[in-house]
Structure formats: C-alpha cells, structure tokens
Amino acid sequence: MYGAGGATTSYEEMEHTSLLFLWGANPREAHPIIFHHMLRGIKNGARLVVVDPRFTSTAQFAHIYLRVRVGTDIALANAIGQVILEEGLAHQAFIENATEGLSAYQEKVARYTPEFAEAVTGVPASQIRTVARLYAQAPRAIIAWTLGITEHHNATDTVYALANLANLTGHIGRYGAGLAPLRGQNNVQGGGDMGALPNRLPGGFEVENPEARARFEAAWGVKIPPKVGRHQSLMFDGMEKGEIRVAYVIGENPVMSEANHARVERLFAGLDFLVVQDVFLTETAALADVVLPSALSWVECDGTVTSSERRVQLVRKAVDPPGEARDDIMIIQALARRLGHDWHYTSAEDVWNEVRTLSPLHPGMSYQRLAAAGGLQWPCPDEDHPGTKFLHDRLWKWPVEGKRAPFVPVDWEPPRETPDDDFPFLLTTGRRLEFYNTGTQSRAYHWPRGQMTYVQIHPADAERLGIQDGDLVQVSSRRGSLRAPARLDPTLAPGLLFMAFHHPDLVPTNLLTVDAWDPKSGTAEFKAAAVALKRVAPRGSWTEDMLGKEVSRHGA
C-alpha cells in the first residue's frame, strides 16, 4: 500500500504519540523492550487501546480493552472505518490529496455497522463507536500489530484493513502517527530487507522488475530468474507432490515451529537429501543428512541486524565459535566456491559494503557510522544522512509525487476451522515472557519444565468438564492429540483455550494447529484451531513423561 515493507514509525514516537492502538499484540511478554517505550508513552499521556481475544498482561495497562473473537479482526476494523465515515470524522483533506479508492472502500464497509460487527466479533457496538472516535480524533495515533494478526489464513487482508484506517484519518507519514508491525524475532525485518523473501531482491526490489534484476546481474555476473519463488507453505506442498526432493534449512526449526507439525516432520523425513545449518541440533537437524554447525550471530561473529523500527545495528564478535562451527557467511561462501563461484569476501563487512552499493535503503550506513550512532534507520541514502525516523511524509506534500496511498477494501470471513460438536473449543497459540519460539535457545534454562507447558482454560469450561487446576488433560484436533496440564485462567473467554509452543520436546503444540495458509503471505493459521478437551488424570497423579504423548492421529 505504501511501497516499503517496514514500520512507518520509530520506537521514540511511541513515547510521544497520543494514542497507541495495539491489535493482536502482547508486547508486555512478546516484545518487552518495545513495551518499555509504550509505557513511557502512556506516562506521557498516550491512551492505550488493546484488541485481543485474551485479557493479556499488556491489556492490563489498557484504557480500553476490546475482547474480539478469534479471527474476526477485519469485521472490527471495517466497523471502525464505517463509524469514522458515518460520523464525518475522516480527514478529508488527506484523503483527497494523498489517497485513492475511497469510494470502493466506503461501499465495502457500509454494511459493517457497529451492530453487525458486534454480532460477529463480540465487541459491544458502543465500544466500537467510542474507539472509532478516539482514534479518528487523536492528534497522533500509532497502530501496532504482530502475530495475532498475521498468523491467520486472511492475514494480509487484515493488515490492509488496519492500513485503511490510517488512510482514513491521516495517521500516516507524520511524527507520532503510523503503522508498526512488531516483528516476531530479531532480524526478521533484516532478513526481508536482504532478500530472504520469494518475491524480493535485497533492498526491497521486486524480483519481477527487469531493471532491478539487471542491477544485480551486473554486480553478481549471473542471470536471476524473473519469477517469484515459493514461500514456505508452497515448499511443503511441493514436498508433498514430490516436486521438491532436497532442502537446505538455515537457522530454522520448521519441524517444531510450523503448523500441523506431524505433516512437516513426515515431509522432511521423506526428502532425498536434507541439509541443516544451525547453532543447535534441533529437531529438524536431527532428521538431516548433513548438519553444518554455525556460529551464534550475536556473539561469535560480526554482522548487522535490523529491528522492527528499521534500525540497522552493528553486531561485533566477542568470542570464537566452538569446534568446527563457522560464521554463516563463511559457510555459504565455502559452498559457493565448491560450486564454481570464486567469491572474494573476507569479512561480513565486505558483504555489507556490497549491500550498500546495491540497495537504495542502506548506502549511508558504513560500519563506522553504525558503530558511532548505535544504529541508523533506513532509508539512509548517503553518509551525511541521519537516517529516517518515520516514513511517507511525501503523502503530506501536496500534490503528491508518485503513487498515492490506495484504500484496499477487504471482507471478513471466519477462520478455516470453527468449533463444532466433535471439536467444541477454539485453540489459539502465542508466547510467554520467559521463553523464545520453539525453545531451542531458552527451554534448557527452566526447571521443572512440565510447569511451563500447560493448557489455559476458562474456569467455567473447566467446571463443566470436571477439570481442576493442574489436572492432566488431553487436547485433540483433526490432526492429532497430546497431553498437558490444565491451568484455569479467568482472563480467557469461555470456549477459548490458549497454549504456548516453547517446549515441543514435552508438548508439541503445533501438532494441533491448522496448516491452512494465507495465499498472499504464505503464513499458516496458527491462531485458530478447533479442538476437543477431556480430563485424563488428577493433579499429582501424573508424571512429566506422560506429557505430550500422542494418543492418536486423525489424518493429515
């Protein structure tokens, strides 16, 4: 919609905005450093609105909390847009001068009245109206979101729905106003910026752009395929069909991190050849024909990482990697040489300097400047440029040069799985403060681990099923079953279960999740799976080795 894949704002602006609108995000636990900036903003007078199916530890700080049903965020966002238009709260000058496509959007959201949205989302119509007015009338407002939005089968459409609200109110392209996707882990932003996406070259160039390809072909001396590659979900489909027989996995543990993990494990186990390059011997690496031990990126080698605010930061080597482990760059370069390409990089800085010559986002970011400044935000076009705190100020320079910001009308549709008689609960997943992703780096440091892996259930549901806190329960979906202790949690809505995924060695949560995926982003619908629940053993009668035992599989 705006021509750049990154947050339009900075962390600093979260301290000086008027309204923080967190949508499907729990930064108190999942992004604690960013949350400190948000807390400073609240202390400085910002209002906090939280939209989440759970009353999270972040929601406890909210001025307004909207308990939305899982997977209904588009209906809620469209209803907020409908109120803003109906009550004449839209920023007409910004819309007329900086956007396009309002009429189609207006037609789309007309049926999403607050009353209609209440029936879909569970959020009272009065709250929808209050929040719409608050957002539209705020001098500056930032919408931030994370995996609660993006891990759905219609994730991209949901992001469009949120960006439409920024277009509608002019909360974009100004200090303290914008859109902030909070990346799921460090350097997700940097990976995309460096071209680790099936449709992009380094610097954000579209791979289908012939001028962009020519730029890189001249530098690299090879022809670049002009077509978009496969994202991860399509790769799994290719393995299923026998079209992909070899895989090379770098710094990823998909056997445990991907939805419907039994299927993913089967697909990797069935490959002709699997290479895994990682710091630890993960569950994916255990299936590999060859394991290439790599260095820890944040302590055993030099390089750069890019944060959620587009800030490129320098990482310096502190200790040598152990044994035969090598820097990822050196491993890849050694492979390239054996494949007949004589690369001449002697350091990570050599690679970075090549990036600076090819990417329009990074030319001014020398190692020396990054070290002196503690990081710089892209775009940074030359070495006299201070970096860019916020993006898209061009939209306020009328007449706008280049493309206007388009409205993208989208419709709500329910999750791929909804509760029924056989699977009457909806399971959603997420993170806890103490752990990180599939636990490769963090789970060994906590004991007893069984206390860290549990199913959260509303007390009313527990009472109806005869479940008490600490009982061992069996959770089953259409993909499989597992066992975990129950924890009663009144912050959940009745009918909703919550599980983390940090201890897949004990409780492989992603055995249960749905691998239906967003056709635009390729991300699976981790956040909504229909499940059944029953009590297996009372508290105190079960042991840790009973956790995660697979009772049955119900197909792929």
Say how far apart CA 277 and CA 280 lie, in whole Å. 9
Which residue bears the tokens 């000086």? 16
CATH 2.40.40.20 spans which residues of the chain? 425-546
Is CATH 3.40.228.10 the right assignment for the domain spanning 11-182? Answer: yes
pLDDT mean across residues, the chain: 91
| Confidence at residue 148, expressed as pLDDT on a 0 to 100 scale | 86
| Confidence at residue 547, expressed as pLDDT on a 0 to 100 scale | 84
> Which positions ≥6 away from 27 have C-beta within 8 Å?
34, 35, 38, 58, 144, 146, 182
Other CB atoms within 10 A of residue 364 CB: 19
Whether the pLDDT of residue 457 is over 70: the answer is yes
> Which positions ≥6 away from 218 have C-beta within 8 Å?
none
206, 212 contact by CB (below 8 A): yes
Tokens matching residue 437: 């992703």
Other CB atoms within 10 A of residue 149 CB: 25
> Which positions ≥6 away from 219 have C-beta within 8 Å?
354, 357, 358
Residue type, 122: G
- For the stretch 12-57, pLDDT in tens is 999 999 999 999 999 998 899 999 999 999 999 999 999 999 999 9
Say how far apart CA 496 and CA 67 lie, in whole Å. 12
Tell which CATH architecture fits domain 425-546. Answer: Beta Barrel (2.40)
- For the stretch 179-199, pLDDT in tens is 999 987 778 899 999 999 999
Say how far apart CA 34 and CA 236 lie, in whole Å. 33
Cis geometry, peptide bond prior to residue 322 (ω within 30 degrees of 0): no
Claim: this prediction has a pTM higher than 0.85:
yes
CA-closest candidate to residue 493, choices 525, 527, 456: 456
**How large a percentage of the chain has pLDDT more than 70?**
94
CATH 3.40.228.10 spans which residues of the chain? 11-182
CATH 3.40.50.740 spans which residues of the chain? 188-377
Q: How far is CA 139 from CA 45, 132, 178, in A?
A: 12, 14, 12
Burial pattern 390-408, b for ≥16 Cβ within 10 A else e, equals bbbebbeeeebeeeebbbb
Which residue bears the tokens 């549901």? 461
Say how far apart CA 138 and CA 299 lie, in whole Å. 43
E strand segments, 214-366: 246-250, 273-278, 290-293, 303-306, 311-315
385, 312 contact by CB (below 8 A): no
296, 550 contact by CB (below 8 A): no
38, 27 contact by CB (below 8 A): yes
- 531: exposed, middle or buried (C-beta count within 10 Å: 0-12, 13-18, 19+)? buried
CA-closest candidate to residue 12, choices 135, 142, 136: 142
Using DSSP's 3-state secondary structure scheme, residue 296 falls into: coil
Q: Place 493 in a pLDDT band, splitting at 50, 70 and 90.
A: very high
Q: How many helices, marked H, and strands, marked E, lie in the chain?
A: 19, 19
Whether the pLDDT of residue 152 is over 90: the answer is no
188-377: CATH number? 3.40.50.740
CA-closest candidate to residue 361, choices 166, 190, 150, 222: 190
Q: Place 549 in a pLDDT band, splitting at 50, 70 and 90.
A: low
Say how far apart CA 201 and CA 490 lie, in whole Å. 47
Whether the pLDDT of residue 132 is over 90: the answer is yes
**How large a percentage of the chain has pLDDT more than 90?**
77
DSSP per-residue string spanning 149-190: HHSSTTHHHHHHHHHHHHHHHT-SSBTTBEEEE--SSTTHHH
- For the stretch 56-88, pLDDT in tens is 999 999 999 999 999 999 999 999 999 999 999
Tokens matching residue 47: 């209002």
